[in-house]
Chain A
Amino acid sequence: MKEQLKIDFNKIKEVSNFSNRDIEIKKSYLNKFIENGFPNRKQEDWKFLDINQIISNNISDLSFYNDYSIENKIDSSIFIDDLEHNKIIFINGRIEKIDFSYEDKKQIEIIEDSYTIDKSENDNSLIDLNIAFSNKHFKILIKKGYSLKKPLIIYHLTNEKMKSKNINLRLDFELEQNSSLKLIDFFTDDSEKNFMNIFYNFNLDRDAILKNYKIDKSLNKNLKYSFNDINQKQNSISETFVFSAGSDYFKNEINCNLKGKYSSAFINGIFSLDDNKQHEIRTTINHLVENTKSYQLIKSVLGKNTKSAYQGRIYVDSKAQKTDGYQLSKAILLDETSEFNAKPELEIYADDVKCSHGSASGCLDDNSIFYLMSRGLNYKQAKGLLINGFLLDVIEKITDAEIKDLLKKMIGLKK
């Protein structure tokens, strides 16, 4: 793989128009990645699902080179009709279109960003890989006091050209004081056996509100990894929702730094898995100052040969008195081959805090099924009803009514 990485990197160097400085930075990250390789189960964060193994089992001949100079045709049939929205369209990792037609153009700035060396020691080698191979990345800046009128949908599309390829993409978002953004990530894949590595950076200034919904619904044979790094100042709110179902492998990592007083973070997630799928959500919430709040709710419904994992970590600094932190993970195992893993972790250094977590897993309750069947439902209907009720709980946590409706329709909870 080492050789492949070097060859592919040199190809990019030749065709792209990165500045020499960028190339140098990218190269240093490439070397770091070559040294460490893909994470494996020896690392605590990758204990439950070993991506190194999954990549070598599913994609034996992974290549890293993408030609970003070729334009791709946009297939408008995949757009979501029920909701008026702004668009960013990624096809095969290349930005094809940025469309903020519903918004005041003066209030949004799209900046082509150059790379900087991240001084903080990150030990996540997938981020190194991302920086080494991602195309030019953009920063979307939302100006002070502006709330986007319509949600922004980022379409992640791939086509058959992308077989056995690694796609790296990155976006930065800067939300100035009192601004707000609703962001939906929507995944549609026409290709097989690729590995998508997404890295988002969010900076929330005072009173800013971010809502991020990730929807991985359409069935596909790809692997995905997404990392959200969210920094929050005073009074800001972040809400992250993950619907994790379609890909063969999907790991969502959310890292939230609550740096300002009264800031809060909400993370809700659903795993609805069938047929050999392996998904994971890993969250880290760092409560760094006093009076911050976090809430997490993760539910899994697991079918044949599936595996889901939830690793949640709440860190409370000794300065962060009056922290309120909560984690709950629940799972229904439908088949004898399904597996649920959880590691809800609390690391607390302040005494005046309210932190708790809960985790429960088991099968569907026989009594409930019996009750419903005695009311005239057949077994399948009864099971469906119970599962829908179980999942609806998480959907109801979504604070945006329009998007909540959209999701309910997508999942089939509403006609």
Chain B
Amino acid sequence: MDTREKDIENLKDYKYGFTTDIENIRAPKGLNENIIKFISNIKKEPKWMLDFRLKAFERFKLLKEPNWQKPKYPKIDYQDLYYYSAPKSMKDKPKSLDELDPKLLETYNKLGIPLQEQARLNGIAVDAVFDSVSVATTFKGELTKHGIIFCSMSEAIQKHPDLVKKYLGTVIPTTDHFFATLNSAVFTDGSFVYIPEGVKCPMELSTYFRINASETGQFERTLIIADKGSYVSYLEGCTAPMRDENQLHAANVELIALDDAEIKYSTVQNWYPGDENGKGGIYNFVTKRGLCKGKNSKISWTQVETGSAITWKYPSCILKGDNSIGEFYSIAITNNHQKADTGTKMIHLGKNTKSKIISKGISAGFSDMTYRGLVDINSKAKNSSNYTQCDSLLMGNKCGAHTVPYIKNKNFDSNVAHEATTSKISEEQLHYCQQRGLNPEEAVGLIVNGFCKEVLQQLPMEFAVEAQKLVGISLEGSVG
């Protein structure tokens, strides 16, 4: 724990900002049918997968890049990106952790997730995605015993084609919006989870994403299926090295919960946010969508967003099954020149569906933060209810905090309630804390953590501690 705390101390100047010197195999720059065929070919994908990609690409060619969001960014040249980048030594996939390239392992150690260590100590199964290829999946034996499938997407396509075929693209179809469609065409890897009927996953599953190569877009695709009566808690963490140019991250995450199943999905996102002057950083344009397909199912999103130059994502729940529940807990922190436009969508289709949204936004420095959410109660969603609370905290008068909720209620049996407040840390609170011996920064940290408590509580234990520290670190230098 001590070393971990020390590591976090070093976070002051983005501690994950190292690059690993590994030879990469790259597809040539650009986006065209050949690149897609190249990706599909190198991954030895079956034909139906290639067709899936090509269909998406056909659609992509017709789509226009959206421009309604609040944070504007310079135009991305999609032809000037690498769509595939894999460490060279991965060509012959290692059979176990010992066979991994030592340099790779070192990278993970620097990140604070030694694969073996963490697997053993925390009992967490980690699937680490390095640029575009999933490096190794730990803790496989334990999971297999329960019949749980937890592997990389490429492996799932090879070994479990029926499941992938059945569910991939059912929540985020190939005909979705611009970035999701791009992902469908060029996605490289990601995680695949299948929890069989009645199984309660004995440990937290976790993925670690890292963008290493420069000028690379990361397009991973995650698919989680919880069969009838099962439960899974899944956590993803993200980092990227410091680079001057902006990097694009456009992932797709699909969750499917069948009857009585529950999925808990937590994210701690700490991509490189750019330097103090807003140079560089990740564009985090992710599509996350969960489908409560069965009766009494539940999907819960928890996110702590502290990184990225621009965060633009709306983890959503489609509440299709009767009595299903959707939850969204979010902390988004922007400092310096970071921008975030995030929130959620709750689409109520089934009867007696319930949703809850708690969103906490904190903006400091020159940053801009927007909560944008949709609550849509369909005319057939009898007796549904939604509660939304979104609070914003402003630090300084150079930053902005915005709230844009869309509320559509088409059912007279249903209740929708929405509350939002915007304020700053009061002088009294600060004064009180300082009087008790805290310095101003500690005082702000304490107050902000109190402000975020409702969301932090939702995170799995180990990550709650880290997230809490991350919150404090992200705001450093914003007071005074």
Contact = CB atoms under 8 A, between A and B. Distances in A.
B235 interface: no
B90 interface: no
B409 A333 contact: yes
Interface string A37-53: 00000001000000000
B144 interface: no
B335 to A, nearest CB: 14
Given A348-B402, A352-B424, A361 B397 contact: no
B78 interface: no
Contact of B413 (A341, A345, A363): A363
B154 to A, nearest CB: 40
Contacts of B68: 44
A299 to B, nearest CB: 14
Contact of B412 (A338, A343, A356): A338
B92 interface: no
Nearest to B413: A363
A334 interface: yes
B419 A349 contact: no
Interface residues of A, number: 35
A48 to B, nearest CB: 8
Contacts of B429: none
Contact of B407 (A343, A346, A350): A343
Q: Specify which of B394, B412, B420 lies most central, judged by the most chain A CB atoms within 10 Å of its CB.
A: B412
Contacts of A44: 68
A183 to B, nearest CB: 32
B414 A362 contact: yes
A358 interface: yes
A335 B412 contact: yes
B405 A318 contact: no
B421 interface: yes
A338 B413 CA distance: 11
Interface in B417-458: 417-424
**Secondary structure class of chain B's binding surface, majority of residues:** strand
A75 to B, nearest CB: 40
Contacts of A331: 409
A318 B397 contact: yes
Given A348-B392, A348-B394, A361-B409, A343 B404 contact: yes
B379 interface: yes
B422 A361 contact: no
Contact of A361 (B379, B405, B415): B415
Contacts of B392: 346, 348
Nearest to A335: B412
B394 A356 contact: no
B73 interface: no
Contact of B416 (A337, A353, A359): A359
Nearest to B393: A351
B420 A361 contact: no
Contacts of B416: 359-362
Contacts of A352: 397, 424
Interface in A226-242: none
Interface in B378-419: 379, 392, 394-419
Contacts of A354: 422-423
A95 to B, nearest CB: 41
A218 to B, nearest CB: 26
Nearest to A355: B422
Nearest to A347: B402
B314 to A, nearest CB: 15
A353 B415 CA distance: 30
A187 to B, nearest CB: 28
Contacts of A360: 415-418
B418 A321 contact: no
Contacts of B414: 362-363
Contacts of A337: 379
B409 A346 contact: no
A359 B417 contact: yes
B407 A359 contact: yes
Contact of A356 (B396, B398, B404, B420): B420
A357 B420 contact: yes
A360 to B, nearest CB: 5
A353 B399 CA distance: 13
B367 to A, nearest CB: 11
A352 B425 CA distance: 9
A189 interface: no
Interface in B349-399: 379, 392, 394-399
A359 B397 contact: no
Contacts of B401: 346, 348
Given A318-B397, A349-B400, A351-B397, A341 B409 contact: yes
B187 to A, nearest CB: 30
A14 B421 CA distance: 56
A356 B419 contact: yes
A336 B379 contact: yes
Nearest to B372: A345
Q: Specify which of B395, B398, B401, B415 lies most central, judged by the most chain A CB atoms within 10 Å of its CB.
A: B401
Q: Specify which of A331, A337, A339, A361 lies most central, judged by the most chain B CB atoms within 10 Å of its CB.
A: A361
Interface string A160-192: 000000000000000000000000000000000
A278 to B, nearest CB: 13
B448 to A, nearest CB: 14
Contacts of A349: 397, 399-400
Interface string B35-76: 000000000000000000000000000000000100000000
B128 to A, nearest CB: 40
A360 B424 CA distance: 25
Interface in A310-347: 318, 321, 331, 333-347
B413 to A, nearest CB: 6
Given A351-B394, A356-B422, A341 B402 contact: no
A323 to B, nearest CB: 10
Contacts of A355: 421-423
B177 to A, nearest CB: 15
A363 B383 CA distance: 10
Contact of A343 (B395, B398, B406, B423): B406
Given A341-B409, A351-B424, 9 more contacts: A321-B397, A333-B409, A336-B379, A339-B379, A343-B406, A348-B392, A357-B418, A359-B416, A362-B416
Interface of A: 44, 318, 321, 331, 333-363
11 contacts: A333-B409, A333-B411, A348-B400, A348-B401, A354-B423, A358-B418, A359-B407, A361-B415, A362-B414, A363-B413, A363-B415
Interface of B: 68, 379, 392, 394-424
Q: What are the 7 A-B residue pairs with the smallest beta carbon separation, nearest first? A: A333-B412, A362-B415, A351-B394, A359-B418, A342-B407, A356-B421, A346-B403
